[in-house]
Amino acid sequence: MTWQERVRNLKRDVVAIALAVRDPRVPWYAKAVGACVVAYALSPIDLIPDFVPVLGYLDDLVLVPLGLLLVLRLIPVDVLAEHRMAASAIVERPVSRAGAFAVIGVWILTALLLAIWLGSWTVRTLGINLFGERALS
């Protein structure tokens, strides 16, 4: 199995666990551990920040797979197989480029409006023009 296949399976398993956490056939302790593992895997906040050399990525490379292995053992096999099939369909869906452009457009528009508001606020409040000249009061 290549690294690309392993990463693809890792993504699929994270999605499968996220689906299994909502399934009533899964024991409560598997749901609790599964929710923690999925939250940590998808969270931008790490136990050790990524900018710390070596150790920053080591927690992601060790904790997430170990947590996944634990949760995969806690979930019943038939339920896990069902959710892995559903997760494969979700993971392999095409990415919406139009949706990505829409989100990027909203962020650019928000940044532009913030810059305009901040510029007008500095002129009104501080009397400083964007070009460094004092505004007339």
pLDDT value at 59 more than 80: no
Q: In 3D, which of 80, 92, 86 has the Cα closest to residue 21?
A: 80
**Predicted pLDDT of residue 134:** 56
Q: Is 36 found in the same domain as 7? A: yes
- Domain total of the chain: 2
Same domain, 118 and 70: no
81 and 107 in a common domain: no
4-58: per-residue pLDDT in tens? 888 888 888 888 998 999 999 999 999 999 888 888 877 777 777 777 777 777 7
Asked whether residue 80 falls in the same domain as residue 131, the answer is: no
CA distances from 52 to 61, 118, 126 (A): 14, 35, 40
For residue range 79-120, list pLDDT tens digits in order: 999 999 999 888 877 777 888 888 899 999 999 999 888 888
- pLDDT at residue number 129: 66
For the chain, the average pLDDT equals 84
Q: Within this chain, do residues 105 and 78 fall inside the same structural domain, yes or no?
A: no
103 and 66: one domain? no
The arithmetic mean of pLDDT across residues 62-78, rounded, is 90
Question: Which structural domain range is residue 85 located in?
Answer: 3-91
Say if residue 85 is in the same domain as residue 122. Answer: no
Q: What is the pTM of this model?
A: 0.58
Are 32 and 84 members of one domain?
A: yes
Same domain, 19 and 64: yes
Asked if residue 76 and residue 46 are part of one domain, the reply reads yes
- Determine the average pLDDT of the residues in 52-72: 84
Q: 78 and 104: one domain?
A: no
C-alpha–C-alpha distance, residues 42 and 68, integer Å:
13
Burial 10-43 (b: 16+ CB within 10 A, else e): eebbbbbbbbbbebeebeeebbebbeebbebbee
Q: Which residue has the higher pLDDT, 30 or 137?
A: 30
